Amino acid sequence: MCLDTEELAGESMENQEESWQGFLNSHVENWEQDSPWRRSTTNRCSSGNDSAFSNSSALESICEDTVVVDSKQNNSGNFVPAIRSGEWADIGGRQNMEDTHVCIADLAKKFGYVVLGREAISLFGVFDGHGGKGAAQFVRENLPRVIVEDADFPLELEKVVMRSFMETDAAFARKCSLQSSLSSGTTALTAMIFGRSLLVANAGDCRAVLSRLGAAIEMSRDHRPSCVKEQKRIESLGGFIDDGYLNGELTVTRALGNWHLQGMKQTGEKGGPLSAEPELKMITLTKEDEFLIIGSDGVWDVFSNQNAIDFARRRLQEHNDVKLCCKEMVEEAIKRGALDNITIVLVCFHSDPPPRSVVQKGRVRRSISAEGLQTLHSLRCLLEEN
């Protein structure tokens, strides 16, 4: 992702800071009254309590042992995913690493909540920062917990995830009003797995692609200024596209953060041209679904969807090591000339490697031309004469 700062270069730092603080404070003060994503009073924790939101850490990821096999798998005739995950990241051709990611096998257990009688809910995500790593780290640290602490978790996950993206974005605005050095933005893509359901939420240009018997199934849509649907939304909210940039500054049309960029975000029901609202896609997994690749845009600059699936599938067939597969994909992206930060999270739904494709050989009808018959006849005559 690119952040165009040429138009801001002429401003003095003093005036810019003063303008930014005034703009941000005015939005923060109105958030609780105006936001349609405001939490109900029955939530497990108050969204106004900024102390509940943790500070960003120096870590580049949150990952744990993410092998989950449901206890009912042997007693049920239905497919139940056996979840295995791995991840790998590299700074690529950039001077700073602004990508980060998260892999949590049991979301409720991670944050100390007991959900009786329900299967583990796993969460995986990639966050691609721009203009600094503050927003990406803040979202990584706080979004999973905000999801768990929502009053409707885990019964209404689609509503919970949508609301949590927006609320985490608002919390980051409050954080930046107190600590201006954090000012930045991030795209975000999360994948949640509960039972046989897969829920993908995306805001920005990270991408999730599913392998279904080796065929690439796109689970998210890139939010870029070139998208006609996004252009209409932006223009209806007073924004514009200039040479492929949102308001002449950003190469994405949805992201969390960026509250310091005037004219990008507004509180209230409509919001501004830059939206933190994710697009959701939910499917029911079957035994034909093999694995899910989640990657920052640095991956997709050099891999097509199908090419990424083919590459990962071959590696898993060779060694069935999920983390090693991610490492090999990142190394391949660098060989292909990837210039951006590169992050890959791979989630497998089976313990065994993907099956090798078997080409069915049918009976082939063979024919010969008249000229061929004449040549054979001539050869036969020559052999008979000798």
User: What Rg do the C-alpha atoms of the chain give, in angstroms?
Assistant: 26
Domain of 207, CATH number, reads 3.60.40.10
Question: CA angle at residue 356 from 347 to 315, to 5 degrees?
Answer: 50
Among residues 319, 323, 363, 365, the alpha carbon closest in space to that of 344 is found at: 323
pLDDT of residue 371: 67
Q: Residue 4 domain-assigned? A: no
Give whole-number Cα distances, 54 to 171, 172, 180, 257, in Å. 10, 10, 16, 16
Q: Residue 66 domain-assigned? A: yes
Q: Residue 377 domain-assigned? A: no
Lowest mean pLDDT among 26-40, 253-267, 358-372: 26-40
Task: Tally Cβ neighbours within 10 Å of residue 318.
Answer: 12
Quick one: average pLDDT of 302-307? 98
Task: Tally Cβ neighbours within 10 Å of residue 241.
Answer: 19
User: Residue 155 and residue 286: Cα distance in Å, rounded?
Assistant: 22
Q: Residue 59 domain-assigned? A: yes
How many structural domains comprise the chain?
A: 1
Residue, of 239 and 116, whose pLDDT is higher: 239
Among residues 158, 102, 95, 161, the alpha carbon closest in space to that of 127 is found at: 102
b/e code 80-113 from CB counts within 10 Å (16+ = b): bbebbbbbbbbbbeeeebbbbbbbbbbbbebeee
Q: Are 326 and 86 in contact (CB under 8 A)?
A: yes
pLDDT of residue 362: 54
User: Residue 259 and residue 177: Cα distance in Å, rounded?
Assistant: 9
Q: Residue 345 domain-assigned? A: yes
Q: Tens digits of per-residue pLDDT, 23-82?
A: 455 554 554 455 544 454 344 544 444 545 655 444 456 675 555 544 344 333 489 999
pLDDT of residue 115: 74
245-246 and 121-130 strand pairing: unpaired
b/e code 26-58 from CB counts within 10 Å (16+ = b): ebbeebeeebebbbeeebeeebeeeeebeebee
Q: Residue 8 domain-assigned? A: no
Among residues 45, 193, 172, 165, the alpha carbon closest in space to that of 112 is found at: 45
Longest dimension (CA), the chain: 106
Q: Are 353 and 316 in contact (CB under 8 A)?
A: yes
Q: Residue 12 domain-assigned? A: no
User: Residue 357 and residue 209: Cα distance in Å, rounded?
Assistant: 19
61-63 and 289-295 strand pairing: unpaired
- 170: confidence class by pLDDT, cuts 50, 70, 90: very high
* Domain extent for 297: 19-357
Q: Tens digits of per-residue pLDDT, 109-147?
A: 999 988 766 789 999 999 999 999 999 999 999 999 999
Q: Residue 367 domain-assigned? A: no
